[in-house]
Structure formats: C-alpha cells, structure tokens
A and B are shown apart, each in its own frame.
Chain A
Amino acid sequence: MTKLNKSKALIAMGLAVSSFALASVAGAEGHGAAPLVINGDIEIVTNTAAPAHMENISTIQSGWEFRTPDTQDLQRDDFDNPGMLGVDDARETWATVEGSEGKSCASCHGEPETLAGVKAVYPKWNEDAGEVRTIEMQINACRTENMGAEAYGYSDGAMTDMSALISSVSRGLPVNVAIDGPAQATWEQGKELYYTRTGQLELSCANCHEDNYDNLIRADHLSQGQINGFPVYRLNNAKLNSVHDRFKGCVRDTRAETYKPGSPEFVALELYVASRGNGLSVEGPSVRN
C-alpha cells in the first residue's frame, strides 16, 4: 500500500480544511501500523482469515484499514468519533416513552448495554415472522407491536441513530451471522445479487470489492465492502449512514435503478455481505470518507 501514500496525503489535505482545521495532525504511524483500540479499551479485529464460504478472498479486512491515518484516528476515541453524536441522541430516544402502550425501549430492555451481542448476529432469522430481519426491521417491529408507536422510515436519522446505539454496545465482539438453516435461502439470494452485474456499467459488487479492493476508484481506495462498521459516519455527507443507503449508493453508481432501502433484496444482500465479515469485530459507528 505504500505506493499509494501520495494520494492519501492529498485526501488528508482535503480533510484538513474542513472542521478539523485546528485539529493537531495525527501521529505519523503508517497505514495499519497501530491496531485499532477504541477508548484505549475495546480491541477491534480489523483483519482476519476469511470465513469458509468465501471462495476468492483469503483475508478479510475492515474498511478501516483502507482509510488514511487521520480518518482512522477519529475512531480511536469516542469523543473524536462524530458518529457518537447520533449514539448520544439515540440514548435519549431509548428512554423516551412513545406510542399508545406507554413504553420506551428502556421499559423492556433496561439499559442499551443489555443488547450487547445483538448486532453481531444480525441480520437474523425470526421464527415468528418467518423472515430474515435486520436490526432496523426489529426496531420497527418493537415500535409498532410493543410500543404502539409509529414506525420509523427505514433510513431515517432517528432509525440510523438507534441502530448505531445498538451497534455501539457490541463493539469488539466478533461478527457471527448464521447462514445455514432457515436463513440459507435468503443468504443464497443475497449471494446471487452480490455476483450479478447491474446497470449501464455492468458492475457487480464483486467487480469492485472482490476483484479490485485496495485499488483506487478515482481518488478513493476501494474497500472489501465489509459492513461490520455500519452505521458509518461519512465525512462525505457528515451524517450516519445505514447499510441500505450505502447499497443504494453503490447500485446507483453502476447506473442502475436501485432497490429500496428495506426491500427484501437489500435484506438478503445485507445478510450475505454481513456473513462475509464473520470474524471481524463489530465496529459501528465507524468513520469513513
């Protein structure tokens, strides 16, 4: 990756003129030299052996490894991580009573920390509903069925904040999404979508994120498309972004009509892509560009 240092320096300069103008320049430790430890406490696995079902990649890497040292450092401390603003907002929502049943999230679940480990296994088969559910679908099921409150829009700010909160309490735990049993059919559908070329550019997910990761796409490094760090705070749009928003952006970039966030296609794709990260640590909310 050293051959690409020059372009990274340019990206870093771009960053320096935004809100970070007064921030001290991050230490000069090289790309990936210092492992990611959040708050000096939570150790994050950012690369490991690929799960058995992956045929073309032997080592899986978190998107964190493809970012510049400046961006990487934003994730080392919760104070520096702008994604934690959304988590703080969601903590307030967590304790707020909404809906006809007079309940808040806290009424049933207690502290958000009781949901540690949940994010690591989602998307997950839900026996009662007979479908694979994402965290967002589960949040809305809780809101409509248990709280009698209105469902959030799938990619609403409040929804993404809440999924960031649920993700944040699982940070450091290994992603371990089940792909067998009842979830298998959905997983197969997701895999099919992953390798299907779409749009005028006729690109599949694999063309970029499997065949060309770490190469430049314009001025940016292609990652492996791992979603262990979602929701992601993007410096690009200065907000938390959900997985399905990212999928939509990617599919749009192939110049195709996209599926909708929350659609069965994206749920299947999320299950498959999540399973490609089995073994990496839950990292969300992460910071990317």
Chain B
Amino acid sequence: MASGVRPRVKVPKSASAGETITLKTLISHPMESGQRKDSSGNVIPRSIINRFTCEFNGEMVIDVTLEPAISTNPYFEFDATVPAAGDFKFTWYDDDGSVYEDTQSISV
C-alpha cells in the first residue's frame, strides 16, 4: 500500500483551437519494484503505478503501461493537439487497486 501519493498536473489554461500544447504530469509514488529485500531478507512486495492514461473529452490521448523498472515519482511530459475547449482527465492505476484522478480544463 503506497502512502503519500499525490498527482500533479500542469496544463496551460488556454490555447487556440488546433494548437499543440505540452502537458506535464508527476505523481509521487515509491514505485517499489518487488525485487528488493528488507533488512531481514524478506522480499518487499511490488507496489507500482502500472498504467497511466490521459483522456480529452472522453477521447484517449495517451495510454501507458508502466513496468517495475520505472523509478520513483513517475514523470510524463507529452504533447497534445487541442481541437476545442474541454477537460483533460488524467488517471493513474495503482497495483493495490487505487485509482488516482485529476482533471484540468482548458479554454480555446
């Protein structure tokens, strides 16, 4: 169970229609790989974000599968073309079943 998970997203407040904008996302998460052992030799169970998606008005922008080799606090930066005003919805899926969401609106 990961604690202190906090998603952060940076989306421009506005853009012109058809413009390509840069989105930045960062989620604080330990991304425990499942390969490490604690001081008494027991394997620390895997606990990672295994999927990250970004949707715009219900349309998938990016859908990423994350693997254990991704390090702490996964950061994604990507571009998207904005056809009209709407909402970017960001979703992170945790191994433990938790789903973290954030939504940011953009006007054109």
Contact = CB atoms under 8 A, between A and B. Distances in A.
Given A79-B24, A85-B28, A22 B76 contact: yes
A19 B71 contact: yes
A275 to B, nearest CB: 33
B70 interface: yes
Which DSSP category, helix, strand, loop or mixed, fits chain B's interface?
strand
A18 B72 CA distance: 9
Contacts of A88: 6
A238 B26 contact: no
Given A19-B71, A20-B75, A22-B76, A79 B4 contact: no
A238 B77 contact: no
Nearest to B22: A24
Interface residues of B, number: 18
Given A79-B24, A85-B28, A19 B8 contact: no
A23 B73 contact: no
Given A79-B26, A85-B28, A19 B6 contact: no
Interface in B7-36: 8, 10, 22, 24, 26, 28
B68 interface: no
B22 to A, nearest CB: 8
Interface string B73-97: 1111110000000000000000000
Interface residues on chain A, size class: 10 to 19
Given A22-B78, A82-B26, A238 B71 contact: yes
Contacts of A20: 75
Contacts of B75: 19-20, 22-23, 80, 82
Contact of A82 (B4, B6, B73): B73
B92 to A, nearest CB: 13
A85 B78 contact: no
Interface of A: 18-24, 79-80, 82, 85, 88-89, 238-239
